[in-house]
Structure 1
């Protein structure tokens, strides 16, 4: 996408190496003429944003923009995630919506489900296979995480701790919870949704992209996401002798086709530098409207 919002072709590649640039030699042929051209492809750097709240709604030229910095509270007093969910109920009447998920490293899947239900009017039928490991260790780690959380008010932490304790009474404790998944049922979406994403877009934010992309009229703009969808409910602990901090997940999510995109992420429909994607998609919307 160029500066004016026109869709163009551009040379690029995915790389599994931590390189800022990739040298490449092109062989250009036209009739009997051959030209060898050396170029370098440069990495699309994720957008840096200072996040003072989970969510902000604003409009540019009457285009609604949902800047979703996180899918959970950023501080205990931050209630903007509730506004994000509440706004979903009115957005389906809009012709076009931009959802900005650049730099969003995830949060609570419940907020994804609530927003989807508010926007579509139907409950989200999750077609991802999921199961959780519930043992004394995983429950203690989860309790420790919520007791030390600084971005949740005390009443929310108390509710979460009570929910965690109930797993000790489940028939499958200790062990894996029963596998859960259903068939996804799309709805007829008439709102043009443009989702901005970059390499920092992760976890619950990727699940929001995954399910919205199953609807009509949804276009992904930016770069591939982080690829952090295989595990969830991440807890951390410090090893007693080395003092090394480790992260431990006790929930697993698998596509029904068993295709693992960890590290690769979800690919966009249109590749655009994250720092330029908002202005370019606004110009594109104005051009095609």
Structure 2
């Protein structure tokens, strides 16, 4: 047999070495060790979470996970093991994702059509799972049948009946959730590009809220009410402002992922009306956060004696500094901020380069205004358990105002540690994102997994929160 040409032999060996490297880079024991090291070296909350009291439990967990990871096969099995490490820290900003190749349940099909689904639903009315039915996403771009999986009855799957996205065909599975227990349900959601992520599914009668993916509306066997449909549409709106009546102005903020300039511009359009309104309702329900810099423009209407920030600490490490530079460069490139606005950020980065290995203290940035506006006299902030991160920071400032009453439910409890940055891993199947800063209130009143409490708790059976506030204030509605 003729020996391969030397150049061909080189490429065979090179490609084989790449394949071996790719395989080894995703080997579970190796991946676990890298995630442990990245966490211990860079996570801003590590020394709070792993303290003299908890260290024995942490070390026992690490030892048991390393033993279990040795020789463990299957990427999904490895991800389940890695999640046990993540769970120890109890921090929603500590993020671990599984970027599985999308040759999975999303491209498998269940052979059904809408008429078949309706027959099934009508036949089994008394035995249906609370999730089962025909549903549409709020913007109408997907219609699915939520039903028990024929081969896996412990799973509820959303089978596509119609889609405006050409990548999604009849019978493909859009998302799946565990059937056991009550809402919220846990499961997996496949986005428009077929990428997958773990999600929580919150059922409220004929509405299904999938945070970061929007609301779904039940269409069969029972139809969502007009009030439920209005609620889903309101939740899908962007930043919106409107007078409710001649006394009350309403501001809806579904995300703080907008720039200060955008918020300020919108407020200026309605400024005169807001200043004439004795009552202001600010609705931040379902607000998953964004940028703290986006909300100071709103605070001028809440101001009674200015707003005190609290110090924080940045864990200055080589990885965190690289991640910080990457996000500054991206912010400029994608025009989130101007180069002028980025300059103080870049100067802070340069100072932190000289303090590697330290928790660098950031002084509080208090917010001051020249005046206290006569109107609004009373301000309601509507908040719920899906308010996270920067939304919670807004609540932290808002509760300092004598004008403000917090209505609703506890916030989600995810702001003790922030400024989450990507930590590159050799294995592309897994993604690790860690908080790099520590908020000063951790020293005296941490909120992780607790959240900020409302002043007035709104009952679970109350559907119209705005009307509830008006009745509380005894306003006409």
Q: What TM bracket, shorter-length normalisation?
A: 0.5 to 0.7
What is the aligned partner in structure 2 of residue 81 from structure 1? Answer: 263
After superposition, the Cα gap between the structure-2 partners of 1:71 and 1:98, relative to the gap in structure 1 and judged at 3 Å, is same
The answer as to whether partners of 1:84 and 1:115 remain within 8 angstroms in 2 is no
3-state SS of the aligned residue for 2:397? helix
Q: How does 1:38-77 map to 2 (within 5 A)?
A: 48=215, 50-51=235-236, 53=238, 55-62=239-246, 63-73=248-258
Q: Which runs of 5+ in 1 are unaligned?
A: 1-17, 22-41
What secondary structure does 2:393 align onto?
Answer: helix
- TM-score of the aligned structures, taking structure 2 as reference length: 0.43
Deviation, 1:81, is 2.2
1:139 match: 321
Deviations 1:123-167 (A, max 9, x none): 5331x23122233321221233354569x8427264565444323
Residue pair 1:132, 1:252 contacting (<8 A) in 2 also: yes
Contact in 2 for aligned 1:86/1:118 (Cα 8 Å): no
Structure-to-structure mapping, 1:100-249, within 5 angstroms: 100-117=283-300, 119-120=302-303, 124-126=307-309, 128-148=310-330, 153-154=334-335, 156=337, 158-159=339-340, 162-170=343-351, 173-174=355-356, 175-181=358-364, 191-241=377-427, 243-249=429-435
Distance 1:231 1:222 in 2: 24
| Most deviating of 189-198 and 81-90 | 81-90
> How far is 1:235 from its partner?
1.4
Query: Using a 3 Å threshold, how does the CA distance of structure 1 residues 211 and 161 change in structure 2: closer, same or farther?
Result: closer
Please give the alpha-carbon distance, in whole angstroms, between the structure 2 residues aligned to 1:143 and 1:261: 29
Whole-angstrom CA distance in 2 between matches of 1:177 and 1:211 = 23
- State TM-score, norm by structure 1: 0.68
* Cα displacement (A) at 1:120: 2.9
The secondary structure found in structure 2 opposite 1:156 is coil
Secondary structure at the residue paired with 1:255? helix
1:281 correspondence with 2:464: no
SS in 1 for 2:337: helix
Work out whether 1:267 is the aligned partner of 2:458. Answer: no
- 1:99 offset after TM fit, Å? 0.2
Higher helix share: 2
1:184-229 CA distance string (max 9 Å, x none) = 9999776211111111111221121122212213211111101112
CA 1:122–1:116 in 2, change beyond 3 Å: closer, same or farther? Answer: farther
CA contact (8 A) 2:416 2:442 kept: no
Q: Which of structures 1 and 2 has the larger relative contact order (alpha carbons within 8 angstroms, sep 6+)?
A: 1
Could you tell me whether the CA contact under 8 Å between 1:202 and 1:227 is conserved in 2? yes
Instruction: Kindly tell me the number of residue pairs found equivalent between the two proteins.
Output: 247
Residues in 2 aligned to 1:184 and 1:73: alpha-carbon distance in whole angstroms: 19
- Name the counterpart of 2:153: none
Decide whether the 8 Å contact of 1:199 with 1:223 is kept in 2.
yes
Structure 1 pair 65–117 and aligned structure 2 pair: CA distance change class (3 A): closer
How many angstroms apart in 1 are the aligned matches of 2:329 and 2:476? Answer: 50
Contact 1:193–1:217 (CA under 8 A) maintained in structure 2: yes
Of structures 1 and 2, the larger Rg is shown by: 2
- What CA distance in whole angstroms lies between the structure 1 residues aligned with 2:403 and 2:302? 14
Gaps of 5+ in 2: 1-179, 184-202, 216-231
RMSD, aligned α-carbons: 4.1
CA shift for structure 1 position 110:
2.0
